[in-house]
């Protein structure tokens, strides 16, 4: 009989088999690097599958979720998607949230190694909830991207902003 303990033992074993997540994607807007979703999946998916675990990332009820399950037991992380006027902006947010929820669920981070974080240490951080609301307001034309420049942003948040900027330039 399977138990929750079996699930967590599989998850622990998979985590010990995962390598480091390397920053391979470039963010030209902020001149920094970040770990994109494909890179993270390349690191985490094989050990999870080898241990009988699968990643699901559905969008349901206005939320982007990441679920890791063995078919019996599962763990989940979700973020509210928000509202977007352009499909491209929504697509960028979905990719960002898929990456963020997966990193959160597995406790994975790709720490900034290019000095940007040290330069911006005096700036306050912005919560994911507040950032999501700000992105929605920008997409709706109620706020400006420059409003977010007063915060110490994560690489993932910078990528979302960069994607929005690129869409507005098109």
Tell me the pLDDT of the chain (170 aa) as tens digits.
Answer: 667 789 999 999 999 999 888 888 887 777 788 888 999 999 999 999 999 999 999 999 999 999 999 999 999 999 999 888 889 889 989 999 999 999 999 988 775 444 444 444 467 888 888 988 888 888 888 888 888 888 888 888 888 887 777 766 65
Sort 139 into a burial class: Cβ within 10 Å, 0-12 / 13-18 / 19+: buried
Identify whether the C-beta of residue 37 lies closer than 8 Å to the C-beta of residue 98. yes
**What is the distance between the alpha carbons of residues 162 and 112, in angstroms, rounded to a whole number?**
17
Structural domain containing residue 96? 4-113+120-169
CB count within 10 Å of CB 144 equals: 11
Domains in the chain, number: 1
CB count within 10 Å of CB 51 equals: 18
pTM over cut 0.85: no
CB count within 10 Å of CB 94 equals: 17
């Amino acid at each position: 009989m399977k138990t929750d303990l079996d699930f967590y033992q599989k998850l622990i074993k998979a985590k010990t088999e995962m390598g480091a997540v390397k920053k391979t994607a470039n963010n030209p807007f902020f001149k920094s690097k970040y770990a994109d979703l494909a890179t993270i999946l390349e690191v985490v998916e094989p050990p999870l599958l080898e241990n009988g675990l699968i990643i699901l990332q559905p969008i349901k009820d206005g939320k982007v979720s990441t679920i890791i399950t063995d078919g019996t037991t599962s763990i989940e992380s979700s973020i509210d998607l928000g509202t977007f006027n352009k499909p491209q902006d929504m697509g960028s947010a979905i990719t960002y949230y898929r990456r963020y929820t997966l990193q959160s669920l597995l406790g994975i981070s790709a720490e900034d190694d290019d000095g940007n974080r040290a330069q911006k240490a005096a700036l306050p951080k912005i919560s994911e909830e507040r950032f999501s609301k700000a992105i929605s307001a920008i997409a709706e034309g109620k706020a400006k991207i420059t409003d977010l420049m007063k915060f110490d942003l994560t690489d993932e948040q910078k990528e979302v902003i960069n994607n929005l900027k690129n869409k507005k330039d098109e």
